[in-house]
Structure 1
């Protein structure tokens, strides 16, 4: 599992992730996967864990006829519907797979929102948060949080890039490259960047 993280500030929301894809046994498959997906001008999604689940959710998302109008709540509903179908069909093997996500942008109520969620032991859990970080499977949460906090405080304008590079130095599952999506709360528009 790779690293993804996000933070909601007074004037913006940032979500980010590295670009490495690995097999279950930790072998690198690709360093060119986009784990941050921009859905529309005011909605983005980042995920880590099982890539097949992210792909299935993306397929469900692409079926939406009103993608330009989707909100954070709508995307969460799509993820919940996917997991309900999985549970209803007794696909316990899929429920056992790790999957974590961040949803950022405009909510149904018009307010900016950062939602952190995941499938934990077969149970989907999601909530609004001020910040979140999901570490790679081969690194300690505290060590990753320390990288995030240090870079956020000391190198704010490039904390995303520095944090991902530092975590890549301690994890074989993280590439030093990534994507970040920055949502301007005042203009209700986000932009996707690669580094």
Structure 2
């Protein structure tokens, strides 16, 4: 699956225009919040956000800038998961999940050194992912994916527990983002 497919899937999952009163993101279209649209030069009504701009924003902010294309060279499934998590929770959160999971799976640094949880894809994070992938292969990739999804699910539940208005979204988050 390439970035075009990932973007198509995320736009389909996010749907069209929304302005749910419990959503702190405010007016949203295709999953792009008004604040993100404005920060990327869009001044029009959110209902009229062009799909081409949404695609550009997704590609630049949630794929290229965080370095998930480099992750895809190692493991496309993990890169796809990071992309989707970043869209919903932010790039730092998604990348932090990867770093935490890699640290927890390195067998007390026997396989590769612990990563600093800086929430950025850099040379050390990519080296750890390569080392993990070389050691564990495709089966390990599936386990890493499960670890990322476990962290994601826990985060969703914590969001609902910390802000009851988020309970309006919890079922959809779990149904649409966990697999």
RCO higher in structure (CA 8 A, sep ≥6): 1
Question: TM tier, shorter chain?
Answer: 0.3 to 0.5
Q: TM-score of the superposition, structure 2-length normalised?
A: 0.35
- Using structure 1 for the length normalisation, give the TM-score: 0.33
Q: Which has the higher helix share?
A: 2
Which has the larger share of strand?
1
